[in-house]
Each structure stands twice: as C-alpha cells, then as structure tokens.
Structure 1
C-alpha cells in the first residue's frame, strides 16, 4: 500500500513538473511584443469555435423537426426544412473556413516568434558549440524546425479542441438531460439517465484507451530521434562526398545508413503494433457508440413515450455528449505525439540552461592591454591532462608561435582563449582590443563570395575595390570576377584556397590581435610565407599568436613557445 502510494506521488510530481515547464514554454508569446495580435487572433478563433458549437446545437434541433415531419409525412414542412438546412450549412461552412484560416495564421505567427527566440538563444552563450561538443542533446536543427512546428500546431489544435469540447459538452448535456427523461432501476429513479450512460461509456473507454496506448509517448519520442539521426547521417554523406568517394567508403556508409534505417523501421514497427491494438479498440468503441443510444432509448420510443423526432434528437445529443466525453480517446495519438515533442523541446531548453548556468572553470575575460595566461590547467573529458599551472604573457605587437607534439594541447589553448574550453582551472586575461580567430578549417557560409569574405560582418562594410585588392594579395585573383556569385564555396574551393580566403578576412577585418590555429596547413610554404608577410606589411603593430608545426613559420614570429610536459616553455628565435 505504501509502495503504491509512493509510486502515484512520484508520478503526479513528474506530470506536474512537466506541465509546469511546458506552461513556461507556452506563455512568453502571449505576454511578449506580439501579444495584442496574438490575443486578437485567439479571440477570433475561440469565437468561431463556439459558433461552430452553436451551429451543432442548431442542427440537433433541426433533426427533431425534420424527423417529426418525416413521421407525419408532411411534404411542405419537409421541403421547408431542407431549404432551412441549406442556410445552416452555408453558415457552418463559412465559419469552418475562417476558423481554419485564422488558426493557421495564429500558428505560423507563433511558430515564427518561437523560432526567432530559439535561434537567438541557441546562438548565444556558445550554446550551439557546447551542446554539440558535450553531447548534451541530439539534432538541435530538428528541434528548432520540426519540433517547434509540431508543438505550436498541436498545442493550438489540442487546446482549442478541448475548449470546444467542453462548451459542446455543456450545451449538449443540457439538451440530453432534458429529452432523455428518467428511468427506474431497482426502485431507484435516475433522472437524465442517458447523460449518465454517456458519461459511463466514455469513462470506461478513456481508461482502456490509456492502458492500451500509453507507451506511444516514448515510442513517438524515439521515432523522432531515429528519423533525425537518419537525416543527419545522410547530410554527413553529402557534406563529405569527396572524401568518401576517394576512400571508396560507400559500403561503410551504406552500413551506417542501414543501421539508422533499421532503428527507424524497428521503432516504427513497435508503433504499428501499439497503434493496431489502439485502433481495434477505438474503432470498435466508435462503432458501438452509433447504436448504443438507440438501444438505450428504444424502449421509451416503442412504448410511445417519445416520437421519432425526439428519438433522433436524443441520438444526436447522446452522440455529441459521448464524443465530447471521449475527447481523450479520439485525441490520444495526437496527445502522445505532443507529449513527445514537448519532452524533446524541454530537454533542449534544459541543456541550454545547464550550459548558461555552468560556471566557467577557466576564468577568461578581456580587461588588459596584453595577453596573460596564469596558473592555467587544462584537461580532456577522459581526465588526461594537457597543461598544468602553465603561464605566459604576450605584449602588444609581439608575434608568438606555439608548437608541440600532436595532442599536447596547442589548439585547445586557443579554444580556451575563445571561451570554448570548459575543462580546467586558472585564468586567461585577453587584450580588450579588436581580435579575430583563424581556425584550421575556415567556415564559408553559402552565399555571394563577398559575404563569405566579409564574414562575420555584412558585405556592405567594404568597397568592391578593397575585396579585389585582398584577393590579389592572397593569391586568389581568379575569384575577383566572381565576387557577386552565390555558391557553396566550401565544395568549390580547394582546402588551400579556403585557407587563403580566410586570410583575406583578416586583411579586411584588420584586427589588432590575431589567433591562428594551423590556418596554413593546406598551403605550400611559398603561399604561407606570402600570406604571413602580407599580414605583417598591411597590419603594422598586429599581435599574432600562431599554432603551427612547420619550422618555416618561425621566421615570422619573434617568440617561440613549446608545450612540453604540460608546461609552456619558451625559447628565443635566432632569426
């Protein structure tokens, strides 16, 4: 008994926590800058939903008059009621069309607002990087695009559907109570007995539906994850097509894709089995609901207590009351999908919150004229140490080269300077000056070449003549005529061209401090020397911190610091 009580208490706490967090995800839009338009659209949609309930009640009364006319064989009344129904149907169609149209308008506005907010948060505090590196959440692209779309449409659909069902339930319950009369069972008179029959029928059906289909929530969540993993794997093949082709890696990639496909099919098969059992029950439940009110009300009709019109009105009212009571049954699959979508969005929010609230282990902030690394320790996720209480100081205008064995922590040190490495201790005081990082593999956004060159700034910042100058300086004169061409440059340019293009960014941006992480690894020594010399000549006073292996780089740096045994050990160049 105590174990059961504990189970239900935990279960209730979990559900309450879920709804509390989901409510916190829903409400900002309705309190934000678009709240006026949002509430106006919602009021219009709710009004049209209530109007559709009124039309349904209207049709129920029409049923009574229509079937009574049929029973009396009243031709004049029959045709009058046919024309009357045409008017009701016209009004109902107009209401349905505009209710759908305004609901879609509200959905897309809400989705656009949520998407913009999620974009902003995902791209702030380095969330997009840390979540990917730490494996805190999978497929953020799907969560922002598909899950937000499903969340907004399902929330409005389920919320408005529930509201409409409540209003409809109240309206038709009044009708059903008034027309169903009383029945005596074991000497007890039960007023409005048809209402109680509908309530009991729906309650039993809802309970059985939940027992049969409750695992759909976890299966739906898993299905979305498997589908997203499959899509991401196919994108990886597209992005790395050349490397895969040169490796002849097609069999390996086919095996990977087949593994993801098998997970999709297996999980979908489980969903099919549950859906099959659920559909068996819900379909049977719906079919029995057609004849159930006739079976219960027929004795009163055969004894002459009610006419055919009243019988049909009872059937219509009972069907509506039973359907409204059974909203949970009809909406169960959508509720399961909505719960799974909400869980995925909530876990995404939680991962971003965890990253935002995490206190940086390495204290990094700009506040000085020089670069100061003090008592710096860094380690990998598996605990392997890279640096132990290391330190160095770089004065403005100095050019420093960092070297060391592969895996010694050179690139990781630059990541720490860029606020990207959370594991370790100590402090890094960055110069409070204009700076730029050049990674080994530059990012080239899809678009006009000018936008690629000026990234992360807008391409209107520099005149066309300046673009042509830096392209010529960085040995890319063949791209001068393609400045306005939009393309996928990462697929068009060679690795060496991409790295030379990154140097054009440095010349355009003209930083005071430049951090270079093996950004010439795909170039020959002649190109490398030309580009370093261009930086020195065109950006006088530039401070450079370079990570590199080649000895040819040493002549462009006045200081050489090597990572050995977890320490930053300095040796003076003799060039």
Structure 2
C-alpha cells in the first residue's frame, strides 16, 4: 500500500498527529523525513528502472556542462590576454573556439532540460496513479470527508502538489548536486589562481595566504546565507497558506457552478458574492504579506548578487595594478569566483523555491498521513452467507456518539422487500450506509445473501462524466442493446432518447426527478441481487413512483429490495415495514395489506 503516515514511526505518534495535523507548517526535521519517504517510494519501485537510466544521462550531461564551464573559464583568460596583446589572429581563433564551445553548450543544455522533463512526467505519472488508487480504494476519500475536516482540498494536493513536488525535487536536488560539483571544480581553480602574495595597499603591507580567494568566497556566502535564512524563514508558512487559500477560493467557485440552479432560485447571488469576496480577500491578504516578505528578501538577494559581481575584481585589482597578474587573469578570477559564489549561494538564490518546496512537502505529508489514518478507520463489514438477510444486535451511532438504534434484530428472505420509515434524523440513511459497509460508527452483525451483487441508489443520483448512455449503464460498460431506450420510454423520458450518445454535463442539465428515473433505469438494466433505495424516488410524483416500483418488483422479483421513504404510498410496494423512531425503538412489521 502507498499510504504512509509521517508520524507512525515516531515515539509519541498520537500526540504528534494531534499537534501538527491541520497546521500550516511542520518542523524541518519532519519535512525532510517526509520528503525522503516520498522520494524513496518511486526510486525503489520497478517502474523507476528506466528513470535510473535517464538520471544517469542527466548526470553525464551535467558533468559535461561543468567541464564546459571550466573550459570557458580558461577561454576567458586566453581571450582577454589576446585582446590586451592586440593579437588579431589570436582574436579570430578565440572567437571560432567560442562558437564551437557555445554550440556544444546549447546542445548539452537543451538535452539536459528535455531529459529532466521526461523524468518529471514519468515520476508524476507513477506518483499520481498510485495516490489516486489509494485515495479511491477502501473508501478512503469517503472516510476522510466523514472524519477529517482539517485536510482541505485533496483534489489540489493530488493535481497540483504532486506535480510541484516532482518538479521541485528534480530541479532543486539536481541543482544542488550540480552546485556541489561546480564548487569542487572551481574551488580548485580559484585556489590555484590565488597564491600567497604580499602587497602594499594604501601604504600598508598586506599578506594574502594561499587560497585566499576561496576563503573570502566561503565567508561571503556563509554570511549571505544566514541573513537570507533570517529574512526568508516566514515564506514557508506564507506559501503554505497561499496554496490553501487559493484552493479554497477555487473550490468556492466550483460550488457556485455546481449549485447554480439552487443559488439562482434562492436569489442567493449576494450571499455567494459575500462569501466569495471573503474567500478571495484571504487570498489577497496573504499574498500581500507574501510579496512584502519577498520584497525584503529580493532587496538583499539582488544586492548580494550585484556585490558578488564586483567583489572578486576589487580583491584582485591590487595585484593587477601591482603588475602581478594580467587583465585575462582578472577575468578568469572573476569567472571562477562567480561559479564558486553561485554554488555556495544556492540557498540564497533559490530560497523562495526551497520555501515553496517545503510547503508542498508539508501539504503532501499531512495529506498522506490523513489518508493513512482514515484507512485505519474500521467500518462494520457485512458478511455474505446463505440466502437470508439478517441483522443481529445492530447498534448505530452518529459521529458524535449519539445512539440512533439499539440492538436491532431482523431477518428477511433474499427475495423480500423492506420499507424503512420514520422521522428525520432517526438513522434510516445511516442504516443503509451500515449495510453498505461504509459506516464506522456501528456495532453488531449484518449478513447478506451470498452470490448476490448489490446496488445503492441515493436521493441525489451520481451521473458520471460522459454520455447519457454511460450514465445509465454505470458502473458497467455502456451497451447498445435497446434496454436504455425501452426503459426511458416507459418512465416518460422518451425525449432523452435522441441524446443517449451525446456527451454533456447531465447532472446539471436534468432535473432531480429525471436523474432519479435514470438511476432507477440503471437498476432495471443491471438487475442487482440486492437493491437499496435511499429516498431514491422522492422527486417523483406518486404515479411515476408507483410505475417505477411496479417495474422494479416485476423485473427484480428475485432480488432483495430495501427502501427508505416517507410517503405512505410506498407501503403497498413492500412486504415488510421497519418503523424507526427517535427513541431507538425500531419495530419490524409484515405488510398484511400488500395487494
């Protein structure tokens, strides 16, 4: 299983989960550990074998780029020395050499970038597929919605954060490795260029030891990194919040689109505008804080970078004016110092990216931990045995531990029909969820007839993306067997026959009554051995409801049918009546008036 908890292996895992779950940021140690686990998942899998080959090519090209940078460093000295000597032939030769080196550099850089993109999409495909699988199986998505209110916008974490994690990991880790290699290469060059020397500066004797350029570069970068860390540390929390606020605002807009009809009927545009305005104001307020902090960081990092341009020339100038080195040597020192400085200053130059990366890691780590903890929630699972439907000592509870039903016992034949009636809030729908095996707050035993498949129809049916035919046959594969057309006509939906194979957003196009009839047609076509209807005909008029239930009883006469409904007209459509009460006193009666 992919699901992994970032706290599971910790000594005090429960208190850590309670402390950090839903927070804006995790401790750096926890973030590093979480990132390492996420990286390991792909790179230890069989799917990564070809990616290792791609990674080897990237490392080879990066090594070539570093070698080219060293060659360019030598070229700078030779070129400027040629210019200083007024050597026209040498000048032409150096230009030709530059053209060759530049062409090779372009080819290496382009293929390096291309292979990194190939690696990223392979990794993201594996990562996203695995996460979606674990998110959907074992009803994890449902349990998270039911029990975890702190893990917001799982859709964004799967669609955006996974992609960001992959791209940041490749760019930052490979970039850091490249910087370290560059540091080693040009650290040696800079050491060789800065021999011990004693010179007069403003009348004072100054002694510089071997490798003084490298020492100064390290000190310069270390001071800059510490200051950058202090200025930029709040960016991690601000980036985390910005992603959350952006996702909340986008989700609110989606909600308006999905509920457009209801909002329009309620004339609720003012209320929606207020809520959207509040949601967007959170985006704006946090973004202003973010850009102010980035402004402060930008002043320092850009000033630091500009100073780094002139700094090596300033410290090399006394030797030049003392005629110890040439102008070409100054250019070579400047180039080598710049490479070393860039390598040492990788944290400074990419601090915002590292801050974004940590925010992404934290969001994914908390999301995966939520998936893992949700998967640990155990629901009462029905057993399959014999040819009877049995409930033994069943007790139902709300998530707040309020008891809905106490020690219920009942038994029905596999071809019976049962209507569950009672006041709102007494637990009728919860009973259906317990039978479906998706309710964690239940005790007792439920036994369903073996070798019988089940189908659950809710008050608001689910119509998947695709054509109307796809929706009717869902979750099976659509067929052109004439059944859809037959039942559409019998349930007064003949006007939809012409659109059967048209792809559209039918969940918003069709009325609730039309959607419920589509779901009933789905049951008639799939012919489940057990059919559960939770207010599945509430939007139909009594004549249509009677017609629908008559068709169900006639065509599913060997199926177990359990309905939840308030209308008294449903009584004559069922063999048994289960009267649910708010006082937990549920009673089963046989329907003697069944016609």
Post-superposition shift, 1:14? 4.2
Which of 177, 193, 212 is equivalent to 1:193?
A: 212
The answer to whether structure 1 residue 220 and structure 2 residue 239 are counterparts is: yes
- Aligned positions of 1:480-499 closer than 5 A: 480-499=497-516
The residue aligned with 1:411 is: 429
- Aligned positions of 1:544-563 closer than 5 A: 544-563=561-580
The answer to whether structure 1 residue 476 and structure 2 residue 490 are counterparts is: no
TM-score under structure 2 length normalisation: 0.91
1:544 aligns to what SS in structure 2? strand
1:521 aligns to what SS in structure 2? coil
The answer to whether structure 1 residue 354 and structure 2 residue 373 are counterparts is: yes
The residue aligned with 2:541 is: 524
The residue aligned with 1:142 is: 156
Post-superposition shift, 1:534? 0.5
The answer to whether structure 1 residue 515 and structure 2 residue 556 are counterparts is: no
Q: Is the 8 A contact 1:473 1:534 kept in 2?
A: no
Post-superposition shift, 1:448? 1.1
Distance 1:363 1:82 in 2: 77
Which of 162, 179, 186 is equivalent to 1:172?
A: 186
2:463 aligns to what SS in structure 1? coil
- Aligned positions of 1:14-163 closer than 5 A: 14-134=27-147, 135-163=149-177
Distance 1:350 1:19 in 2: 15
- Aligned positions of 1:145-544 closer than 5 A: 145-183=159-197, 190-360=209-379, 362-432=380-450, 433-459=452-478, 462-544=479-561
Between 327-336 and 385-394, report the one with greater CA deviation.
385-394
1:376 aligns to what SS in structure 2? strand
Distance 1:335 1:410 in 2: 51
Q: Is the 8 A contact 1:137 1:348 kept in 2?
A: yes
Distance 2:517 2:353 in 1: 52
Distance 2:338 2:436 in 1: 65
Between 218-227 and 174-183, report the one with greater CA deviation.
174-183
Between 421-430 and 180-189, report the one with greater CA deviation.
180-189
Deviation string for 1:441-493 (max 9, x for gaps)?
A: 1001121111101101111xx44322222223333222222221111111221
Deviation string for 1:113-168 (max 9, x for gaps)?
A: 21111111111111111212222411111111111111111110101101111111
Distance 1:543 1:359 in 2: 26
Unaligned runs of 5+ in 1: 1-9
Post-superposition shift, 1:356? 1.2
Q: Is the 8 A contact 1:169 1:320 kept in 2?
A: yes
- Aligned positions of 1:564-575 closer than 5 A: 564=581, 565-575=583-593
How large is the Cα RMSD of the aligned pairs? Answer: 1.9
2:348 aligns to what SS in structure 1? helix
The residue aligned with 1:6 is: none
Go from structure 1 to structure 2 and tell me whether the alpha carbon gap of 1:254 and 1:471 turns closer, same or farther (over 3 Å shift). same
Post-superposition shift, 1:377? 2.0
Deviation string for 1:413-463 (max 9, x for gaps)?
A: 11111222212322322333211101111001121111101101111xx44
2:209 aligns to what SS in structure 1? strand
Distance 1:132 1:114 in 2: 22
Post-superposition shift, 1:540? 2.0
Between 179-188 and 502-511, report the one with greater CA deviation.
179-188
The residue aligned with 2:15 is: none
Distance 1:70 1:267 in 2: 54
Distance 1:211 1:355 in 2: 37
Between 49-58 and 424-433, report the one with greater CA deviation.
424-433
2:580 aligns to what SS in structure 1? strand
Post-superposition shift, 1:380? 1.9
Post-superposition shift, 1:183? 4.7
Go from structure 1 to structure 2 and tell me whether the alpha carbon gap of 1:181 and 1:367 turns closer, same or farther (over 3 Å shift). farther
Post-superposition shift, 1:169? 0.7
